[in-house]
Amino acid sequence: MPERRTVALVTLGCARNEVDSEELAGRLAADGWDLVPEAADADVAVVNTCGFVEAAKKDSVDALLEANDLKTAAAEGRGRTQAVVAVGCMAERYGKELAQALPEADGVLGFDDYTDISDRLQTILSGGVHASHTPRDRRKLLPITPAERQSADVALPGHGDAPADLPEGVAPASGPRAPLRRRLDSSPVASVKLASGCDRRCSFCAIPAFRGSFISRRPSDVLGETRWLAGQGVKEIMLVSENNTSYGKDLGDIRLLETLLPELAATDGIERIRVSYLQPAEMRPGLIDVLTSTPKVAPYFDLSFQHSAPGVLRAMRRFGDTDRFLELLDTIRSKAPEAGVRSNFIVGFPGETEDDLAELERFLTGARLDAIGVFGYSDEEGTEALTYDGKLDEDTIAERLGHISRLAEELTAQRAEERLGETLQVLVESTDGEDGPVGRAAHQAPETDGQTLLTLSHGLVPGRMVEAKVVAAEGADLVAEPLAAGSAAGAGDGVASGAVCTEEAGV
């Protein structure tokens, strides 16, 4: 009997990429590949790259080079890895250009290759060559009219067809755009895609060009995947897309998220539903009401403000200003006083003045945000901002980035101090780390926000929801004492501190 093929998926970037990797894992498992966690133990190392900002692109290249080192070692008899393949946003965005610049990669596959990923990898593993794709503006692949998009035959990560015969542990297809999925870890938290792509045209962002126009997944597919994940032991679902506030517009109901959330929260086994990637300009009263009043739905607002000075926002092709944003936060907190809010900001945008920076400081000081990501502007190919006059020099951008980052650290630490004495619902994520049991409250999304350290470990296991009282703050993190160790508690009515995130910019 021939030895089974092995593959490892190395994922970089955001939660959307993590979902894409699990789709690829499902397709490969369904076709007989063995999934292994370490690239060194795999015949093929598949690197799911990020292509949004310069630092992320560098990390992706470094990961591909590291995988290539494993291939070199295997050729010398010190390992197994025979091929390295790039997929994901950077591969989609640059295609042949990336392949030429990085000959160490044996293949550069775009989103159109995902459905046939098994055949592509087998070809490469057998010594064949699959031509790297030519990048194209994916916004032009779907109809301009959102209502016409659902019937379009376009490859979309997270929206794929699936075969009928599936091995154990692979999520079944529940609809025409419901993908295969195989979990790659045992975390009690998993992301679920609401949609792909974006119709907004922010002048600094290249994502729509390589992710495409906005298209929603059908509610039945989202519900079916959530139920499957609950059966896999998942306790918290995080809904992700490039813009969750647009969900349903191509299905004829822009308020579809408001009806979907209670249905998701009613799923047996799910303790918490979290919604990420919200556009401030698209927030509506009904959505705020559902996010702040539905049991098991976290009162968590991941709002992509990006700046608060009106002139900078208009140059970004965005809307709002300091006072409007503060009014939005007041509305949220009038309904859920302890609601958590996080956001990302770009400093040093072309034309940004000292007065603009002072306006941003005014907003940050008044907003009481739990988590803040701060990024220095950098030119991105294919964006409108690349053509702008008024570019600031690198030293000025670095100075402003350092200044606002220090302010953000101070403000999020102050916000954490405000949580002292609060009672939180904490989802335990690990118990064997050097800090002891660690979990997250309703505010704290994976990777981007702070965490809660629990003072007692008796009865705590990953996936357990416990009620705990905040007794201390350590920067942006919290320390909390379980009130009844090991006891399950309802989710959705407690929040905790955030952190300064410098790894991922919201869109």
Secondary structure of 219-254 as H, E, C letters: HHHHHHHHHHHHHCCCCEEEEECCCHHHCCHHHCCC
Question: What was the pLDDT predicted at 175?
Answer: 54
Question: What was the pLDDT predicted at 499?
Answer: 39
- Report, as ranges of residue numbers, the positions in the chain whose pLDDT lies below 50: 1, 163-164, 485-507
Q: CB neighbours (10 Å) of residue 380?
A: 21
- CA 171 vs CA 10, 195, 248, 368, 429: distances in Å: 20, 18, 23, 40, 23
- The answer on whether 50 is annotated among ligand-binding residues is yes
Residue 196's nearest CA partner among 300, 92, 274, 94 is 92
- Contact present, 90 and 50 (Cβ < 8 Å): yes
Q: Where are the beta strands (DSSP E) in 157-312?
A: 170-171, 181-182, 189-193, 195-196, 215-216, 236-240, 272-275, 300-302
- Contact present, 292 and 339 (Cβ < 8 Å): yes
Amino acid at site 9: L
Question: What was the pLDDT predicted at 166?
Answer: 57
- Contact present, 370 and 497 (Cβ < 8 Å): yes
457, two tokens: 């470990």
pTM: 0.89
SS3 assignment, position 333: helix
What secondary structure, in 3-state letters, does 420-465 show?
Answer: CCCEEEEEEEECCCCCCCEEECCCCCCCCCCCEEECCCCCCCCCCE
CA 112 to centroid of chain Cα atoms: 21
Residue 341's nearest CA partner among 490, 446, 444, 492 is 444
Question: What was the pLDDT predicted at 155?
Answer: 78
Helix (H) or strand (E) holding 341: strand 340-347
- The answer on whether 501 is annotated among ligand-binding residues is no
Question: What was the pLDDT predicted at 490?
Answer: 40
d(CA 169, CA 226): 14
Question: What was the pLDDT predicted at 81?
Answer: 92
